[in-house]
């Protein structure tokens, strides 16, 4: 019996291969977008984790030389002998590979490729020709060395780990780069200044600062993944619903023949689960393709934005397969619940005829409208009260779902209004018929709405970020040339040489301080037109730079202001002195607090800090010659100088890459939405023949009926776009003003990009029109016999 | 003592071949202890880099002003990956320090690891200095000893009131029937004064201490699984060092040195000393004997050795039990007990 029942059920798919395709393709696309985005995120996170785990960055305090140079090994021994539990690290580059040397005997637990408890391995690591650990492609880039190469995928990209002794040999140095300070220290240690006055302690950055920064980017991607998946689920829901509708006669017949409802439903569930698995597998594979195409750009973006190295190649992680298949199965179950519910409720012999897609049931519409209203009100309340990531996401969710639920009702009202305003039979029929079709199309239109809103929202966010950041770069990178001296002597030579030849020399010097428990980098600025002319403030007194120059004022970044609650004119203690907040400036992408004092005040507070970096102001066309002259006369290597234009260009490149990722995802989401429209229209086309036949019988040509179909699709897309634009802007606002502040501590100003929205609108209409073209063409080519048959079937 | 720890912890040992290659050298070129050693002081207080393992091992029984008993441990282990020493990070000499303070109801432990060659750890024979990080022991007859951990520290002065004592056969200490042996001498006659820093505050303490010096290259037989070691100071002024090596065949290899109050040692070969567990304590998820019956009939010794704190577990890279004990029975006194290999 089961076999015969299955045969009867599956015969439906043989007769409707297109529906089968819709179901599989929708689910596969949804899974692909979801798992692709997850794959990118997972790969990036794995890279940070590897970096953090192997280098102890973030989790432990670090000691570095005050002048940024190397630390003599004797300082390390002196610290250890004084009771400081520090572990030496040496870093350098060899053939472009970052060599990191660690001492496994003193490294805090969990750092380094081998630990004391690992057994024999440490012996080889420490002695003989040693070992280097790294990813295969990185190991291959190393020059010819004796050490044993060990492939270790967990090591940060572009990096090899080895013993500190071997690293010193490879890098031809006898100093250290930094030291890791163990969390637990013994009693009775002397102060750091007493042992190593030339070292500064950098407080561990809470472990998650790297994460917090890059999370901003991942947030975009995740939002995209989720929205794409939602769009995909709309399609699947539509396809499953339709398949169940169409199989009602089969179900009735089978049940009449004695197949228990339970068996029938179990078989249909098994059938769906199988399809979900097939589609899920295809989807994960597709997602892998998407991810591997996009990952190099994502890697480049993260590297450029945050200095995070992410491997450009993808590793196939089993967790994707699981999560991809899980999401496909879960999505299918979600989409099929309603269909199963209806099937279970169906009286034994009823439902033999296909249920015409009904007019929106009054009660159902009221429920839906009420739910939408509740969600939108909730979103409005959250917009004013949300102060954390969770509430931020709740706001996004309420906004999106509320809008999707409200869409059919809004469209219905708009159509009803148009109907009442129109005159003439044909126009009135057009509006009425459109309203009648709306329930069947509403899922597809909701998908389109979400896709467009996501596009508007995310592109507004990314573009706003770009504009803000470019302005920020203009402000921060005002100098034409940036030069780093190796030591104090070279810095002196540089300033002596450059003073008569440039318009201004701006030392870049900083020291770490703690302001209200927040680690803060204090800068000493040589105040001049470069600062007074270029800097813009989020809030500032009448003449902030004058106050700083007087030694009474301090400028602080937004992060410091937000996290410590400092406001204008509050007193900020730095060292032994206090300064009034004279201005607050935007400092995008910086995880820690920052403050600016005048050069004189800074020098009095931190007499030991010597400026080694300088910004030089000179006419842009003289930069190249001057750069060459610096190398020739002061001995500064070319690599220690950066052309401002170069930095800016690089930053813009980064954003262009971000746009590549964003655009690719935009196109994919729109394609999915277009696909949803196509499928809905194709489905409706067959069901609507009985409704169109009378219009044809009364004299409308098939051609004009087809044209009307096309116009209707485009018109509905226009209406949807009109709703999507404000929704997208609301989404962007929520992302920039709520989620970003909660996640990263700064608010991004929002800019509008009408040309982008227009282009997007055209794309969306194009997608809708394209999707409607084939159904319309099919309608125009429907044989008159098929239309006539409607009337005979009516009997 | 501590052979097992070193085998497990300082890893070169795990790959060790026990065979002999040439007179007095093993397969990796390490020197092997030979009978009838000629010690030369102060040179032999220093490190012997051509032997695989070595330690400077000090334990102390102390009392506070209110009579509370305390125990203290300070150990510096040396383990060589090759029989040589070099300047810089590629020195094959590795160093490990263990420090502990035991009170009747608490036990504080900490561990340090370092490489030789860079000055972070080492031993200089004259003037004697043994150090790892900020821990150090300076001087032999008049010594100062310091160590610190996250929740304890100590700083004590030691004065030797008796001579160095050679263990085993004139300093050649056999560890198995198969002939494994080490060089082994002790200074069991230290008077101690100083300060313990505990979470509850500083405690002035006085007491006695016992230093063991041992070095070797092939310490345990394959069939030996662990080790119970006693250093007991009787109220009569006599002292007893005894150990038993537990073997897989159920037989134990025992050895003892009877040390009179004037420092004259008498060795007792396998079988003379007996140590029988009387009571076990669950500690760190395993059962460890913390009360023993120790007998040495030749000297009329039949005593019960009881841990002052049965939970004196050394939670180090390779864990073991080490803590102060009291002695009752035919003789009374105090001492230290170390037990390894209880899995």
Does B100 score more than 80 pLDDT?
yes
Name the pLDDT band for B329 (thresholds 50, 70, 90): very high
Residue B32 tokens read as 């092997």
Q: What is the pLDDT of residues A753-776, one digit of tens each?
A: 888 888 888 888 888 888 888 888
> In the prediction, which pLDDT does A659 show?
61
b/e code A54-74 from CB counts within 10 Å (16+ = b): bbbbbbbbbbbbbbeebbebe
B197 and chain A in contact, CB less than 8 A: yes
Task: Give A163's contacts in chain B (Cβ within 8 Å).
Answer: 89
* Min distance B10 CA to chain A CA atoms (Å): 8
Q: Which member of B90, B119, B131 has the closest CB to residue A165?
A: B90
- Output the pLDDT for position A322: 82
Q: CA A1, CA A12: separation in Å to the nearest integer?
A: 17
pLDDT exceeds 80 at position A792: no
The DSSP letter of residue A348 is S
B85 reaches A (C-beta below 8 A): no
CB B238, CB B259: distance < 8 Å: yes
Residue range A167-219, pLDDT digits in tens: 988 888 888 988 988 888 888 888 888 888 888 776 654 433 444 445 555 66
**Rounded CA separation A29/A679 (Å):** 14
Residues 393-412 of chain A with CB under 8 A from chain B are none
Q: What is the mean pLDDT of residues A118-138?
A: 72
pLDDT above 80 for B47: yes
Contact (CB, 8 A) for A35 and A330 = no
Per the CB < 8 A criterion, the answer to whether A248 and A352 are in contact is yes
> Alpha-carbon distance A452 to A680, whole Å?
18
Per CB-CB distance under 8 Å, the chain B contacts of A122 are 11
What average pLDDT score do residues A285-290 get? 80
Whether A240 and A336 have beta carbons less than 8 Å apart is answered as yes
Fold (CATH) for B3-339: AttH-like fold (2.40.370)
Burial A223-234 (b: 16+ CB within 10 A, else e): bbbbbbbbbbbb
The contacts of residue B331 (CB under 8 Å, 6+ apart) are: B232, B234, B235, B236, B238, B301, B303
What percent of chain A shows pLDDT beyond 70?
A: 77
* DSSP three-state, residue B46: coil
Residue A305 has pLDDT above 50, yes or no: no
- pLDDT of B110 strictly over 80: yes
| pLDDT at site B275 | 94
pLDDT score recorded for residue B18: 31
Q: Does B317 touch chain A (CB under 8 A)?
A: yes
- Asked which of B197-206, B228-237, B293-302, B313-322 is least confident by mean pLDDT, the reply is B313-322
Residue B156 has pLDDT above 90, yes or no: yes
Q: Which of B6, B11, B130 to mutate to test the interface with A (most CBs of A within 10 A)?
A: B11
The answer to whether the CB atoms of B317 and A83 lie below 8 A apart is: no
* Chain A contact probe: residue of B84, B134, B147 with most A CBs at under 10 A: B134
What CA–CA distance (Å, rounded) separates A327 from B199? 53
Q: Given a cut of 90, is residue B205 above it in pLDDT?
A: yes
Tokens 């996170």 locate to A45
pLDDT tens for each residue of A702-724? 888 888 888 888 888 888 888 98
The better pLDDT of the pair A304, B122 is held by B122
Q: Give the residue, B15 or A236, on which the prediction is more confident.
A: A236
Q: How does pLDDT run across A423-472, given as a tens digit for each residue?
A: 888 888 888 888 888 877 777 788 788 878 877 887 787 777 667 766 76
Q: Is the peptide bond before A581 cis (omega within 30 degrees of 0)?
A: no
Is the minimum CB–CB distance between A171 and chain B shorter than 8 Å? no
CB spacing of B134 vs A80 below 8 angstroms: yes
Alpha helices in A85-154 (DSSP H): 121-126, 136-139
Backbone dihedral angles phi then psi of residue A385, each to the nearest 5 degrees: -110, -20
Using a CB–CB cutoff of 8 Å, tell me whether B81 touches chain A.
yes
What pLDDT digit, counting tens, does each position of A509-537 carry? 888 888 887 778 888 888 888 888 878 78
pLDDT bin (cut points 50, 70, 90) of residue B172 is very high
* Sign of torsion over alpha carbons A559, A563, A565, A571: negative
Query: For residue A308, is pLDDT > 70?
Result: no
For residue A186, the chain B residues in CB contact (below 8 A) are 110, 134, 148-150, 153
Q: Would an 8 Å CB–CB cutoff place A123 in contact with chain B? A: yes
How many CB atoms neighbour CB B282 within 10 A? 10
Give how far A509 is from chain B: nearest CA, Å.
34
B123/A507: higher pLDDT: B123
pLDDT in tens, A572-609: 888 788 899 999 887 765 667 889 999 999 988 888 88
Residue A120: pLDDT band with limits 50, 70, 90: very low
A378-390 tens-digit pLDDT: 988 888 887 776 7
Choose the mutation target among B76, B98, B120 for the interface with A, i.e. most A CBs under 10 Å.
B120
| pLDDT number for residue B189 | 96
Residue B216 has pLDDT above 70, yes or no: yes
**Chain B residues with CB-CB distance to A189 below 8 A:** 134, 148
Nearest to A77 among B15, B120, B149 (CB): B120
Mean of the pLDDT values across residues A319-334? 81
Between B183 and A12, the higher pLDDT residue: B183
> Which residues between 120 and 149 in chain B have a beta carbon less than 8 angstroms from any beta carbon of chain A?
120, 131, 133-134, 148-149
Rounded to two decimals, the pTM is: 0.57
- Yes or no, beta carbons of A117 and B317 under 8 Å apart: yes
Residues of B in Cβ contact (< 8 Å) with A74: 119
For residues A671 and A675, give the distance between their C-alpha atoms in angstroms, rounded to a whole number: 6
Of A120, A187, A188, the CB nearest to B14: A120
* The pLDDT of residue A206: 43
Chain B's closest residue to A190, CA to CA, is B134
Considering A56-60, A154-158, A245-249, B211-215, the range whose residues carry the highest mean pLDDT is B211-215
**In chain B, what residues touch A119 (CB-CB under 8 Å)?**
11, 14
Q: Do B134 and A82 touch (CB under 8 A)?
A: yes
Residue A706, token pair as written in the block: 């087809």
Least confident of A481-495, A583-597, B104-118: A583-597
Q: CA-CA-CA-CA torsion for B209, B112, A120, B286, nearest 10 degrees?
A: 60
Q: What per-residue confidence (pLDDT) applies to A48?
A: 56
> What pLDDT is recorded for position A39?
72
The pLDDT of residue B235 = 95
B200 touches chain A (CB under 8 A): no
- Domain positions in chain B are 3-339
Q: What angle do CA A480, A482, A483 make, to 5 degrees?
A: 140
Rounded to whole angstroms, the Cα distance separating B120 from A106 reads 11
What rounded mean pLDDT belongs to chain A? Answer: 78
Of B11, B120, B150, the CB nearest to A184: B150
Q: Which pLDDT score is estimated for A358? A: 44
A contacts of B92 (beta carbons < 8 Å): 126-127
Nearest CA in chain A to B82: A127
Cβ A187–B14 below 8 Å, yes or no? no
């Amino acid at each position: 019996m089961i076999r015969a029942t299955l045969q009867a059920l599956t015969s439906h798919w043989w007769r409707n291969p297109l529906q089968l395709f819709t179901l599989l393709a929708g689910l596969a696309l949804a899974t692909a977008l979801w798992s692709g985005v997850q794959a990118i995120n997972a790969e990036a996170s794995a890279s940070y984790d590897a970096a953090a785990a192997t280098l102890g960055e973030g989790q432990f305090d670090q000691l570095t030389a005050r002048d940024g140079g190397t630390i003599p090994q004797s300082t390390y021994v002196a610290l250890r002998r004084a009771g400081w539990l520090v572990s030496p690290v040496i870093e350098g580059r060899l053939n472009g590979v970052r060599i990191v040397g660690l001492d496994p005997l003193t490294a805090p637990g969990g750092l380094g490729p081998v630990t004391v408890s690992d057994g024999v391995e440490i012996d080889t690591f420490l002695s003989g020709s040693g070992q280097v650990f790294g990813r295969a492609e990185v190991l291959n880039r190393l020059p010819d060395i004796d050490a044993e190469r060990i492939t270790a995928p967990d090591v940060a990209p572009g990096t090899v780990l080895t013993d500190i002794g071997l690293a010193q040999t490879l890098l031809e140095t006898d100093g250290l780069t930094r030291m890791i300070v163990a969390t637990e220290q013994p009693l009775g240690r002397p102060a750091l200044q007493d042992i190593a006055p030339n070292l500064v302690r950098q407080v561990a950055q809470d472990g998650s600062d790297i994460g917090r920064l890059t999370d901003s980017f991942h947030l975009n991607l995740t939002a995209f993944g989720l929205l794409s998946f939602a769009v995909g689920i709309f399609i699947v829901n539509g396809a499953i619903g339709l398949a169940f509708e169409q199989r009602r006669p089969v179900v009735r017949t089978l049940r009449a023949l004695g197949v228990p409802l339970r068996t029938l439903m179990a078989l249909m569930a098994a059938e769906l689960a199988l399809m979900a698995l097939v589609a899920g597998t295809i989807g994960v594979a597709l997602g892998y393709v998407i991810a591997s195409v996009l990952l190099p750009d994502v890697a480049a973006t993260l590297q450029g934005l945050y200095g995070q190295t992410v491997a450009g190649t993808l590793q196939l992680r089993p967790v994707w397969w699981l999560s991809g298949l899980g999401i496909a199965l879960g999505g299918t179950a979600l989409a099929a619940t309603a269909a199963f519910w209806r099937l279970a409720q169906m009286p034994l012999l009823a439902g033999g005829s296909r249920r015409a897609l009904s007019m929106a049931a009054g009660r159902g519409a009221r429920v839906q409208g009420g739910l939408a209203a509740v969600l939108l009100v909730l979103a409005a309340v959250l917009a004013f009260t949300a102060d954390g990531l969770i509430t931020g996401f709740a706001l996004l969710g309420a906004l999106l779902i509320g809008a999707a639920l409200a869409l059919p009702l809004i469209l219905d009202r708009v159509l009803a209004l148009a109907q009442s305003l129109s005159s003439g039979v044909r126009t009135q029929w057009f509006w009425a018929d459109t309203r009648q079709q709306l329930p069947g199309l509403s899922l597809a239109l909701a998908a389109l709405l979400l896709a467009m809103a996501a596009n508007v929202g995310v592109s507004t966010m990314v573009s706003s970020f770009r504009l803000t950041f470019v302005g920020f770069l203009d402000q921060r990178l005002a100098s034409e040339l940036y030069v780093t001296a190796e030591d104090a002597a070279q810095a002196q030579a540089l300033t002596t040489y450059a003073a008569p030849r440039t318009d201004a020399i701006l030392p870049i010097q900083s020291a770490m301080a703690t302001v209200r428990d927040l680690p803060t980098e204090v800068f000493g600025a040589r105040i001049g037109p470069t600062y007074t002319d270029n800097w813009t403030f989020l809030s500032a007194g009448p003449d902030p730079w004058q106050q700083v120059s007087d030694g009474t004022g301090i400028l602080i970044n937004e992060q410091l202001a937000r996290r410590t609650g400092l406001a204008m004119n509050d007193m900020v203690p730095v060292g032994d002195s206090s300064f009034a907040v004279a201005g607050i400036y935007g400092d995008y992408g910086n995880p820690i607090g920052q403050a600016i004092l005048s050069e004189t005040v800074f020098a009095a507070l931190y007499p030991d800090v010597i400026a080694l970096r300088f910004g030089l102001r000179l006419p842009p066309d003289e930069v190249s010659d001057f750069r060459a002259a610096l190398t020739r006369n002061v001995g500064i290597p070319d690599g220690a100088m950066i052309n401002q234009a170069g930095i800016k260009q690089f930053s813009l490149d980064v954003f262009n890459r971000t746009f590549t990722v964003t655009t690719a995802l935009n196109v994919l989401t729109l394609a999915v939405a277009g696909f949803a429209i196509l499928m809905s229209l194709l489905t409706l086309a067959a069901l609507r023949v009985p409704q169109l036949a009378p219009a044809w019988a009364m004299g409308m040509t098939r051609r004009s009926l087809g044209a009307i179909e096309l116009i209707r699709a485009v018109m509905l897309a226009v209406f949807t776009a009109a709703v999507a634009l404000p929704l997208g802007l609301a989404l962007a606002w929520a992302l920039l003003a709520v989620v970003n502040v909660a996640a990263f501590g700064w608010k991004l100003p929002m800019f509008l990009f009408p040309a982008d929205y227009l282009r997007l609108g055209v794309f969306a209409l194009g997608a809708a029109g394209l999707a409607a073209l084939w159904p319309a063409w099919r309608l125009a080519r429907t044989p008159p016999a098929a239309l006539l048959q409607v009337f005979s079937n009516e009997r | 003592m501590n052979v097992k720890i070193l085998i497990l912890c300082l890893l070169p040992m795990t790959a060790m071949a026990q065979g002999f290659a040439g007179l007095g050298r093993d397969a990796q070129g390490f020197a092997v202890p030979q009978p009838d050693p000629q010690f030369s002081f102060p040179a032999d207080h220093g490190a012997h880099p051509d032997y695989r393992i070595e330690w400077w091992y000090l334990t102390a029984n102390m009392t506070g002003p209110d009579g509370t008993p305390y125990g203290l441990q300070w150990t510096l282990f040396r383990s060589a990956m090759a029989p040589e020493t070099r300047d810089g990070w590629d020195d094959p000499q590795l160093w490990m320090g263990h420090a502990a303070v035991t009170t009747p109801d608490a036990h504080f432990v900490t561990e340090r690891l370092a490489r030789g060659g860079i000055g972070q750890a080492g031993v200089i024979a004259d003037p004697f200095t043994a150090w790892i990080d900020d821990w150090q022991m300076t001087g032999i007859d008049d010594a100062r000893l310091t160590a610190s951990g996250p929740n304890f520290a100590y700083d004590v002065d030691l004065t030797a009131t008796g001579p160095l004592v050679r263990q085993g056969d004139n300093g050649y200490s056999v560890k198995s029937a198969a002939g494994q042996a080490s060089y082994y001498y002790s200074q069991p006659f230290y008077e101690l004064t100083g300060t313990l820093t505990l979470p509850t505050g500083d405690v002035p303490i006085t007491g006695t201490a016992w230093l063991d010096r041992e070095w070797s290259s092939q310490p345990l037989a394959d069939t030996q699984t662990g080790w119970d070691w006693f250093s007991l100071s009787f109220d009569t002024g006599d002292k007893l060092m005894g150990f038993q090596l537990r073997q897989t065949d159920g037989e134990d290899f025992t050895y003892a040195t009877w040390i009179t109050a004037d420092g004259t040692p008498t060795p007792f070969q396998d079988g003379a000393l007996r140590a029988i567990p009387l009571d076990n304590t669950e500690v760190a998820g395993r059962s460890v004997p913390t009360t023993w019956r120790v007998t040495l009939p030749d000297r009329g010794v039949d005593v019960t050795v009881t841990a002052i704190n049965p939970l004196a577990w050394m939670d180090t890279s390779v864990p073991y039990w080490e803590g102060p004990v009291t002695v009752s029975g035919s003789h009374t006194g105090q001492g230290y007990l170390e037990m390894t290999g209880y899995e």
